[in-house]
Structure 1
Amino acid sequence: MTNSFDVEKDYHSSANTDALCVHHLDIALTVDFSTQQLSGSVTLFFNRKRAQSVLIIDGRDLFIDQVTDLNGQPLDYDCEDVNPTLGQRWLIEVGMLNTQVVVHYHTSPKAQGLQWLNAQQTLGKQLPYLFSQSQPINARSWLPLQDSPKARVTFNATIKVPLGLRAVMSANNNPIMPEDGIFTFSMDKPIPTHLLAIAVGDLAFKETGPRSGIYTESGMLEAAVNEFEDTESMLLVAESLLGPYAWSRYDMIVLPPSFPFGGMENPMLAFMTPTLIAGDKSLVSTVAHELAHSWTGNLVSNATWRDLWLNEGFTTYFTNRIVEAVYGKEQAELEWVIEFGRLQEEMQSMPLIDQTLPANVQHRDPNLAFNRFTYDKASMFVHELESRLGRAAFDAFLIRYVNHFAFTAITTEMFVDYAKQTLLVEHGDKITINELSEWIYGQGLPAWFVGPTSTSFDKVDLALAQFISGTAASELCVKQWRVHHWQYFLSKLPLIVSQAMLLDLDEVFSFTGHHNAEIACDWYRVAIRNLFDPVLPALTKYLCKIGRGKFVRPLFIELQIAGYHLELKAIYTQARPSYHPSLQVQLDSLLHFDDIKTDI
């Protein structure tokens, strides 16, 4: 495969990791809610791979006050702007002998990797809240570092917070509160920089098992513990598939609704959205997904954001295996079919050049790598490998693959080379190099691929056909439907549905304002598409309450396409302040707010 770019290069970092590569951080920070800033220092420990006197690190909207050696002697440094997405590169004169530098700095209130919430924006309404989101390249907005998946680091941290608040990080967390507001952390295993995470708030803790527990505001704790009580069972299943869990504990923190993702796999402290707490465990596959990342993503990582599919595709597949073992084959099949449906939908709108497993983002915003192809097409590829080889043989390959690349960052081409040496040698009668290449580098899905099906959806297809042909919603048989049945029903409705039919559905099934965020989002998309105005008040409330990008982005796009320009402006102006800064930047660009005069 011929490429017109360097497949080894991380195009989203200025760091010179090929010469001087940072491997450890000593972090000392004070959290100041009054100024919405972190201030302090980080000591960068680096290895010398080749002779060079300048250490290059990444930053965005950072204020560096001083750089010194370990003895406190000032070092010369300079800053160069790259672009608004990548931020700045800081060039530090370290000489030919130093292997550590100390950077004294403070963050900007505009840091895209940090969200500061005042007390009124929290559940308890008493104390403020802070949380980070470093993926993909936002760690550089709150830490001066080599912000590349290639620069895996260990770290120690000392974090000072106002009394009464708790700090937690992607490291070992001690449930016992210190009296002086100073928290210490240690991560002794090298992690990619996008997994560096911090949260500070009025947090309570409760165990869900011998190796797992939940941090969240006290008003949400019991509901979260009940929803995620199967975590230990998931851990045992994951270990049976992929080998021993390497990270000691698997704690989670349920964040405020403005957290922009369903979950984030920060090691030892996975971040979760409260939209997963549906009361019936119907959405806990996200817990399984973040847990599976403990092997594929945290142990074996993407070397660049082009290679994100190696994280997300294998993890999405493993999620399905965990769900099957814990909740049964029907549930796993339902989720797999819904996953395939999401992929088919995105295939209709995504340019063909972006329908490969490696993400075509070398010179673009790395957030664009997070699409249905790096997740769901990649998962379909892994499912097909299992089908071709047989589950037992494939599981043996996976364990060897994870162990071979543990604690390293790999490119797509490194995976292909490994597959040539193992998979294609041992199972060359079941899959060829051409088929492997077509899956990875080909656009769309291979012509021979047959998507997943589930007989569990037959009853939904019947009800859907009856409704379209004129049967009243109240006469449809929907007993024992799960969330995924409803998602499938809504996704398969015709593009054009009459106002009377929408009103009938809503009156019978109460979709508007539904407590399940997934069902509500799918319903609002159908309603917006068909100009069903009765949903607008509830839609506004939904978009102002929930900041999860998976829900927010498609709904604003639907409003834009449907011609709700005034409503879009009003809703976004109201909702934007509650969104995470990284999501604000994405939506500002996506919705072309430079061209729409607003007061945001």
Structure 2
Amino acid sequence: MATSLTSSWDHQYDYHSSANADTVCVSHLELNLEVDFSAKQLIGQVTLYFDLNKESSSQHGQLILDCRDLTLISVSDLQGQQLDFSLVDVGDILGQKLVIKINQSIRAVTVHYATSPHAQGLQWLTPEQTLGKQQPYLFSQSQPINARSWIPLQDTPKARVTFDATIKVNNGLRAVMSALNNPQMPKDGIFHFVMDKPIPTHLLALAVGDLAFEATGPRSGIYTEPAMLASAVKEFEDTEAMIKVAESLLGPYAWQRYDMIVLPPSFPFGGMENPMLAFMTPTLIAGDKSLVSTVAHELAHSWTGNLVSNATWRDLWLNEGFTTYFTNRIVEAVYGKEQADLEWVNEYTRLESEMQSVDLIDQTLPANVQTRDPNQAFNRFTYDKASMFVHELEQRFGRESFDAFLFQYVTHFAFKAITTEVFMAYMLQHVLPNCPDKLSEVELKEWVYGEGLPHWFVPPSSSSLDKVHLALMEIEHKKPAKMLNVSDWRVHHWQYFLNQLPQVISQEQLLDLDDTFLFSQSKNAEIVCDWFRVAIRNHYDPVLEPLSAFLISVGRAKFVKPLYSELLVAGYKQEVEQIYAKARAGYHPSLQVQLDKLLSW
């Protein structure tokens, strides 16, 4: 049953920001920061340029910014006149708010500050934690609300900003940002960046390390540690082809370049769509391009997410659902329909699994996170249920008509942040009246506000999985693993196979599967993680040693959080404590916060 559009929540309001962005809107940042690896701090200043909303003059006496754990040194106007300010705690999730007194003549303020060594948006790696083992490394992760831990700003996706930055690095390392990057290293260690298109604050990004560069095309390339560069370039060599496919669907690429940086394994996401420099996990480098759909996903965000953005974290599905669908279209064009269909089925399999353990009230497209940590919005409903919805729109309208809709939608909302309700109004005003026989208002609202999947939904399928279903039947009948015909299986067949195995499997069968297919030794992170989950729930203890090594060496939240959860559910509390004690220091601070809560650390 669809829930009502009306509730006590103001759906225009960002509950995860204290900033007064609706009345005093910051539009440009000037950053000037020095990277101090010894102190694990960024030290310097940011100048924020803002506009006043004339309709809200009564609130012009102050500029309110978000921050978390920053050391504030001073606040001044452009003439150097000191301004009064106060710092107010607003809770563990939101951090603090910085309230600066301003008058009608002030249009910019400069904040001198330093970050905390424990800033949730920054990870400082020792040389031993890098691939090269010689130099330290720093990288940020601002999404969802961690930009405030390294810049005092209006940390809400509603407040788009342009920026320019000067980053000083004093130890011969390279700095890169979510802006236009120059492959040539400056001799003085001072790096300059410009982002001239307005971006949401969660797309602000910085990395500093021993980074080499190689082009993958005329407008794309890879930054990463020298020892990883060749394998990364080979794995992601189809990037230019992906860009061309994406442009054919949604129009010209608006960001000039699509470079990527492959980060150390502690990066907590598969990828992060920071414009002009997408951040990528090294767990994507499988050697066979089987996991490069994440590259397509972050590229797709260049339109759905970076051009058209969610206004609040409740509206995350507008980013991730359209992008997950769009990813599938890119994969189909570059790698073929079979792979696209397999990935779509695996999306549904993940969603189906999560539906069994999540309260119905949280199974809508808008994430009900207004009073919760916005990290909880990143679930299978904002990604895969939303993708199923967009796939159904394509099926209802027909691909040609739907592609025209996508192009018009992105063009209409380019460089804007929208809510779920703005999207619904657009559909009701501009789309449904033109095709009343294709989709009704009731069906639209059921998809968006309804709990679970609509009763009429037909799951995706692929005839390519027939051979996997046969193998699963043979497993049910205790057929030895070496007798299974798996000679032409892709990674996606193996993922489906592992996710569809019976909940309860005997120790003998698990040992047979592991000995035959060497799952515990797999170098493919997706495969080994799916196998570990099967093994944990069946108390197959031989995996504990490789599982421990995996959790210590990989910090991607998609893998780490479910594995710790599975271990706890299966009763491995002592093992969890031992593993986490060794692994925690290598995780990104934002992930540490989440895991500390999950594991009652």
Query: Structure 1 length as normaliser, TM-score?
Result: 0.98
Determine whether 1:579 maps to 2:587: yes
Q: Is contact 1:166-1:201 (8 Å) kept?
A: yes
Secondary structure in 1 matching 2:520? coil
Q: Residues 331-342 of structure 1: matches in 2 within 5 Å?
A: 331-342=339-350
Match for residue 6 of structure 1? 10
Show CA shifts across 1:568-588 (max 9, x none). Answer: 100011100000000000001
Secondary structure in 1 matching 2:100? strand
Secondary structure in 1 matching 2:11? coil
Q: Residues 398-477 of structure 1: matches in 2 within 5 Å?
A: 398-477=406-485
Secondary structure in 1 matching 2:44? strand
Segments ≥4 residues shifted beyond 4 Å: none
Match for residue 88 of structure 1? 96
Determine whether 1:141 maps to 2:145: no
Report the Cα distance in structure 2 between the residues aligned to 1:11 and 1:146, rounded to whole angstroms: 13
Secondary structure in 1 matching 2:90? strand
Q: Residues 141-540 of structure 1: matches in 2 within 5 Å?
A: 141-540=149-548
Q: Give the counterpart letter for 2:198 in structure 1.
A: P
Report the Cα distance in structure 1 between the residues aligned to 2:216 and 2:273, rounded to whole angstroms: 18
Match for residue 32 of structure 2? 28
Report the Cα distance in structure 1 between the residues aligned to 2:167 and 2:90, rounded to whole angstroms: 30
Report the Cα distance in structure 2 between the residues aligned to 1:241 and 1:447, rounded to whole angstroms: 30
Q: Residues 559-570 of structure 1: matches in 2 within 5 Å?
A: 559-570=567-578
Show CA shifts across 1:451-472 (max 9, x none). Answer: 1000111000101111220211
Q: Give the counterpart letter for 2:21 in structure 1.
A: T
Report the Cα distance in structure 2 between the residues aligned to 1:160 and 1:122, rounded to whole angstroms: 21
Report the Cα distance in structure 2 between the residues aligned to 1:227 and 1:505, rounded to whole angstroms: 29
Secondary structure in 2 matching 1:486? helix
Show CA shifts across 1:121-172 (max 9, x none). Answer: 1000111000000000000000000000011000000000123200000000
Q: Is contact 1:58-1:89 (8 Å) kept?
A: yes
Displacement of 1:344 after TM fit? Answer: 0.4
Q: Give the counterpart letter for 2:444 in structure 1.
A: L
Q: Is contact 1:119-1:125 (8 Å) kept?
A: yes
Match for residue 78 of structure 1? 86
Determine whether 1:47 maps to 2:51: yes
Report the Cα distance in structure 1 between the residues aligned to 2:257 and 2:354, rounded to whole angstroms: 36
- Residue 116 (structure 1) aligned to one of 107, 112, 124: 124
Secondary structure in 2 matching 1:185? strand
Match for residue 598 of structure 1? none
Displacement of 1:18 after TM fit? Answer: 1.1
Instruction: Report the number of matched residues.
Output: 593
Report the Cα distance in structure 2 between the residues aligned to 1:589 and 1:337, rounded to whole angstroms: 32
Report the Cα distance in structure 1 between the residues aligned to 2:556 and 2:21, rounded to whole angstroms: 33
Displacement of 1:450 after TM fit? Answer: 0.4
Secondary structure in 1 matching 2:316? helix
Q: Is contact 1:293-1:315 (8 Å) kept?
A: yes
Q: Which runs of 5+ in 2 are unaligned?
A: none
Determine whether 1:64 maps to 2:75: no
Q: Residues 544-555 of structure 1: matches in 2 within 5 Å?
A: 544-555=552-563
Displacement of 1:64 after TM fit? Answer: 0.8
Displacement of 1:237 after TM fit? Answer: 0.1
Show CA shifts across 1:488-516 (max 9, x none). Answer: 11111111100000000000000012110
Q: Give the counterpart letter for 1:296 in structure 2.
A: T
Secondary structure in 2 matching 1:168? strand
Displacement of 1:591 after TM fit? Answer: 1.5
Report the Cα distance in structure 1 between the residues aligned to 2:199 and 2:445, rounded to whole angstroms: 29
Displacement of 1:2 after TM fit? Answer: 1.0
Secondary structure in 2 matching 1:325? helix
Displacement of 1:94 after TM fit? Answer: 1.2
Report the Cα distance in structure 2 between the residues aligned to 1:393 and 1:531, rounded to whole angstroms: 51
Query: Structure 2 length as normaliser, TM-score?
Result: 0.98
Identical aligned residues as a percent: 69
Report the Cα distance in structure 2 between the residues aligned to 1:204 and 1:166, rounded to whole angstroms: 8
Q: Which runs of 5+ in 1 are unaligned?
A: 594-600
Report the Cα distance in structure 1 between the residues aligned to 2:349 and 2:141, rounded to whole angstroms: 28
Q: Is contact 1:163-1:180 (8 Å) kept?
A: no
Q: Give the counterpart letter for 2:48 in structure 1.
A: L
Secondary structure in 1 matching 2:131? coil
Report the Cα distance in structure 2 between the residues aligned to 1:200 and 1:246, rounded to whole angstroms: 26
Q: Give the counterpart letter for 2:46 in structure 1.
A: V
Secondary structure in 2 matching 1:279? coil
